């Protein structure tokens, strides 16, 4: 019970970290046309797939807005950002080397829903009954799921390294504001 | 949306203690000790246990069912009987009326009414068929990281209990704060992480 309470408190108190991460990630994807540089790793391809939920955070006065649809181009979402909201949930396409995933991520918990492996896994269902094929499929699937999480962690780490360096964050947040409020 | 489905949902954990070197020797026995038991159906509302990820109705798991290279893939099965509230209410009311008529009473005490409700609930539970659900788990045994193929709170709570009872080690959820703490090793960053609050536009 105590553990559960601790977790809930931590999730609530520090939920802003995840929302800030997603907001930063969106900015970074637009900065270099869908490519995010991860120090020590190289480039990861990241794009926001026209489904974004923004909110103002925790509390009774919490406001949220959902932006989706093929023609939205996320302009409404950007307007939401300008009013102080941050990205609470987003549909993201992420690529690393030859692998690619499409998923929805929740900023508060980092839970991932509707994850599809778009590239990097074979689709040989005919052999599914064969034990060896099943084992190969399971290993391949597990590898790709963990790789997706590991790639997300690289992006999250890149964000945290900037966020927790006051000088770096001052510069980054200044650039982010310029992106949001172009003169 | 299980592990083998084309679309999955994932909540993440890390095992709180290092796994033993001879993990596989111990895993099959531990999982079978907490295997889902059809025999324990009787009058339980919820019955939980591990099952094979490819055959949730097998009576026990063997190593090839759950061991895939460095990965443990196993399913948690939850069978739940649910009595619709209106049905329970109706049968409790009928039973209360029957007892009042039989004993020529105008009303029943709260204690007796609660006893009737529980007895009726048990009788109805025996008539309701349990609905099975399975939730897959995939653990990389080289580092104890766990992907659970559900983000539902109820399923997660059940998993955390079952995992602890099975392996005697806790599953710690990966959330932004814990992930940041595990990725950043220097103490200055960790201290600053504890202090920072939300950032707002100027």
Q: How far apart are CA A94 and CA A74, in angstroms?
A: 18
Residues 90-129 of B with CB under 8 A from A: none
The chain-wide mean pLDDT, for chain B, equals 91
**Tens digits of residue pLDDT in B20-64:** 888 998 999 999 999 998 765 566 788 999 999 999 888 899 999
Distance, CA of B197 to CA of B177 (rounded, Å): 12
pLDDT in tens, A69-96: 764 567 778 888 888 889 999 999 999 9
* Chain B partners within 8 Å of A156 (Cβ): 176, 179-180, 183
Residue A144 has pLDDT above 60, yes or no: yes
pLDDT at A1: 41
Please say if the pLDDT value at position B173 is more than 50: yes
Please list the residues that pair with B12 across neighbouring strands.
B147
Nearest to B183 among A4, A11, A153 (CB): A153
Does the structure show a pLDDT above 80 at A11?
no
Chain A 131-170, CB below 8 Å of chain B: which residues?
131, 134-135, 137-139, 141-142, 145-146, 149, 153, 156-157, 160-161, 163-164, 166, 169
This model's pTM is above 0.80: yes
Cα pseudo-dihedral A27, A33, A35, A37, rounded to 10: -60
Whether B87 contacts B117, CB under 8 Å:
no
Domain boundaries, chain A: 2-180
pLDDT per residue over B180-191, tens digit each?
988 887 888 888
More confident: B186 or A102:
A102
- The answer to whether the CB atoms of A138 and B180 lie below 8 A apart is no
Q: How many CB atoms lie within 10 A of CB B21?
A: 7
Taking only the tens place, the pLDDT of each residue in B91-107 is: 999 999 999 999 999 99
Predicted ipTM of the assembly: 0.87
Which of A21, A138, A166 faces B68 most closely, judged by CB atoms?
A138
- Give the residue ranges of DSSP H helices in B78-127: 85-102, 110-125
CB-CB contact of A46 with A96 (8 Å) = no
| Separation CA A56–CA A156 (nearest Å) | 21
């Amino acid at each position: 019970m105590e553990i559960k309470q601790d977790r809930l408190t931590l999730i609530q108190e520090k939920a802003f970290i995840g929302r800030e991460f997603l907001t930063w990630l969106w900015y970074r994807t637009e900065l270099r046309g869908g490519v995010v540089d991860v120090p020590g790793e190289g480039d990861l391809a990241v794009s926001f797939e026209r489904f974004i939920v923004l909110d103002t955070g925790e509390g009774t006065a919490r406001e949220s807005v959902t932006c989706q649809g093929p023609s939205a181009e996320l302009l409404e979402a950007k307007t939401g950002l300008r009013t102080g909201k941050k990205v609470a949930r987003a549909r993201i396409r992420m690529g690393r080397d030859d692998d690619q995933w499409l998923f929805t991520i929740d900023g508060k918990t980092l839970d991932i829903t509707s994850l599809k492996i778009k590239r990097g896994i074979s689709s040989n269902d005919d052999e599914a009954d064969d034990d060896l094929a099943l084992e190969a499929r399971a290993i391949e699937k597990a590898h790709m799921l963990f790789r997706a999480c590991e790639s997300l962690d690289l992006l999250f780490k890149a964000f945290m390294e900037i966020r927790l360096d006051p000088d770096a964050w001052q510069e980054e947040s200044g650039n982010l504001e310029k992106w949001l409020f172009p003169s | 949306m299980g592990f083998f489905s084309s679309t999955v949902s994932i909540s993440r954990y890390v095992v709180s203690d290092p796994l033993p070197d001879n993990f596989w020797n111990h895993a099959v026995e531990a999982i079978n000790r907490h295997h889902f038991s059809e025999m324990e159906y009787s009058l339980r509302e919820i019955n939980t246990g591990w099952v094979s990820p490819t055959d949730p109705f097998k009576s026990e798991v063997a190593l090839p069912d759950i061991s895939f290279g460095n990965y443990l893939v196993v399913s948690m099965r939850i069978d739940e009987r649910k009595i619709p509230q209106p049905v329970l209410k109706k049968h409790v009311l009928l039973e209360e009326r029957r007892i009042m008529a039989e004993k020529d009473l105008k009303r029943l005490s709260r204690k007796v009414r609660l006893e009737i409700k529980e007895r009726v609930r048990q009788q109805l539970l025996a008539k309701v068929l349990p609905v099975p659900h399975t939730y897959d788990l995939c653990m990389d045994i080289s580092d104890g990281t766990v992907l659970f193929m559900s983000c539902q709170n109820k399923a997660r709570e059940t998993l955390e209990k079952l995992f602890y009872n099975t392996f005697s080690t806790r599953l710690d959820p990966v959330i932004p704060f814990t992930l940041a703490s595990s990725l950043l090793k220097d103490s200055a960053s960790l201290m600053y992480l504890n202090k920072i609050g939300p950032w707002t536009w100027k």
